[in-house]
A and B are shown apart, each in its own frame.
Chain A
Amino acid sequence: MGRITLDKVSKSFGDVEVIPPLDLTIEDGEFTVFVGPSGCGKSTLLRLIAGLEDITSGQIRIDSEDATNVPPAKRGLAMVFQSYALYPHMSVRKNIAFPMKMAGIDQAEQDKRIDAAAKALNLTDYLDRRPGQLSGGQRQRVAIGRAIVREPAAFLFDEPLSNLDAALRVGMRLEISELHERLKTTMIYVTHDQVEAMTMADKIVVLQAGVIEQVGSPLELYERPCNKFVAGFIGSPKMNFIEGKEAANLGATTIGIRPEHISISTTEGQWKGTVGVAEHLGSDTFLYIHADVSPNETMTVRVDGEFSARHGDTVYLTPRAERIHKFGADGLRIE
């Protein structure tokens, strides 16, 4: 079991309040991603749940038991760190065995679990090596192996993939997702990468300056962002924002339209513009357009497949009316 409840949890460092009181419930078995720009307090929040930082006020409950003053060792959570934090003086086998040794699990059971974890993570051939002799991806897998074997109530991941190169990152992302499908254990995953958040999460928690902006499934956040910040943060490429008359016509201060919800034509449409840059990926074409309605910012348009356009071409854009997001002067969504 691993249901984690934060009840008016806050954190201050000295006089600086990094996390104002917040409430959050993470259901058992859920894959929850904390996402936000750097410095938004997402890692601090994770460390509060882990017990590595003391909370300033509020209560943390793990499976409805008060864990606020329980030391990290006794919370039954496992953590994977950004730097992997492997024990450099121990072999891979000993690294993975360490939490079991601390828990006093007998040797036969330890070996069984190590072998199972090594097999699942493709580490069988590396068990006798030291962490220093492994590649980044392998080290990451050892860190995950060390977390799995103790069968924790929940896994905590602190930006685990940010030290890997792009290709490995995608691979490890899939491995972690599959691990979650297999174990069905609660996982809390911190990242600043909204693609990781969208692809892995059951539930995304978007944070900014220590405040939860929105909680929801990836598609809820994509389709109904509750404010301008979430709208701009979730989705790639970013949502286009248009202010002024065009927004006022719809009774909003700002309207947002995602690049994939704009159709483009060389002959006719609602907004006129000229092509700044066209990126041809084969599968899609990304066009960065200087549009009359958005004089200060280039608009991004995503077209499925190939669309022939070059710098300076005149194009016409038409947003899909039902996909336009409206925001008020306070940045909040208008229905």
Chain B
Amino acid sequence: MARSIAPRRKAINTLLAWSIGFLIFFPILWTILTSFKTEATAIANPPVFIGFDWTLENYQAVMERSNYGRFLWNSIVIAGGSTILGILIAIPAAWSMAFVPSKRTKDILLWMLSTKMLPAVGVLYPIYLLFIRMGLLDTKIGLMIVLMLINLPIIVWMLYTYFKEIPGEILEAARMDGATLREEVIYILTPMAIPGIASTLLLNVILAWNEAFWTLNLTAAKAAPLTAFIASYSSPEGLFYAKLSAASTMAIAPILILGWFSQKQLVSGLTFGAVK
């Protein structure tokens, strides 16, 4: 009995998985396809998916109209900078929570996560004022700090989970071997947690790269990253779907490629500890 059912069930599961995967990927696919259409085809109803004349004119127009390179550079600096800043703070924080927990450690973790439940717009006004006062408005360093703070709870949580998996005796052995706290973290904890740290880094880069609320509200011209680059195609002269799609494709391409090449790392990192 089981033998005859198993292959059929397997086929159904496979089909289901592919369907869901396709459903999730569909908007991105549509965007990419639209970026190769003329504006007229882009707004055709019903939409055309395959049989259209492929064109690169949107990319040409986008490249002419705006300085993609500068936005890209800002995105790289902001996403990379906030991630590095975050990890430097999160490693010691997660270390202390994992290895010298207090009665309140669980509460602190939850409290940190609870900040993610607050709608961002709720603190926009105070942060905006702070930024003006401190001269951080439309600066890369300002955005790095804000994005770092926003993603810090997630980085600390992830690292905390990874660190929890490392046997405390190994760190105690390092202490007995004469390692100072700094050496213990650098030579033992970090190398052992590399897979976890790598996937945390990666996830954080992606989150920071795609963050739109703060990057749009706190930048104007100088520090604007790719999210602002996309947004600039949605308003001024009405909606140009094809050009907007071309800009979007160019904005997500770097992170998509990064994600593609590191998906193995990402998946194993995100399921770390779940399967032993």
A interface residues with partner B (beta carbon < 8 Å): 50-52, 71-74, 77-79, 81-83, 85-89, 98-99, 102-103, 146, 150, 156
Contact = CB atoms under 8 A, between A and B. Distances in A.
The 4 closest A-B pairs by CB, nearest first: A102-B178, A85-B173, A99-B177, A85-B169
Contacts of B187: 98
B172 A71 contact: no
A52 B178 CA distance: 12
Interface in B128-185: 167, 169-170, 172-180, 183
7 contacts: A52-B172, A52-B175, A52-B176, A83-B167, A102-B177, A146-B177, A150-B178
Contact of B176 (A78, A82, A87, A103): A78
B176 A79 contact: yes
B254 interface: no
Interface in B183-209: 183, 187-188, 191-192, 194
A102 to B, nearest CB: 4
Contacts of B191: 89
A72 B176 contact: yes
Chain B interface extent, by class: 10 to 19
Contacts of B178: 73-74, 99, 102-103, 150
A79 B170 CA distance: 11
Contacts, number: 61
B130 to A, nearest CB: 40
A112 B269 CA distance: 40
Given A98-B187, A102-B183, A81 B177 contact: no
B176 A50 contact: yes
B169 A83 contact: yes
A98 B191 CA distance: 14
Given A73-B180, A98-B187, A85 B175 contact: no
Contacts of A85: 167, 169-170, 172-173
A55 to B, nearest CB: 16
A126 to B, nearest CB: 19
Contacts of B174: 87, 98
A88 B174 CA distance: 12
A156 B177 CA distance: 12
Nearest to A81: B169
A323 to B, nearest CB: 43
Nearest to B173: A85
Contacts of B194: 89
A150 B176 CA distance: 11
A275 B171 CA distance: 54
B173 A73 contact: no
A74 B183 CA distance: 14
Given A89-B191, A98-B187, A73 B175 contact: yes
Interface in B94-130: none
A102 B183 CA distance: 8
Given A85-B169, A102-B183, A71 B192 contact: no
A94 to B, nearest CB: 10
A71 to B, nearest CB: 7
B192 A72 contact: no
Contact of A73 (B167, B169, B179, B192): B179
Contacts of B169: 81-83, 85
Contacts of B172: 52, 72, 79, 81, 85
Nearest to A82: B169
Contact of A71 (B167, B170, B175, B177): B175
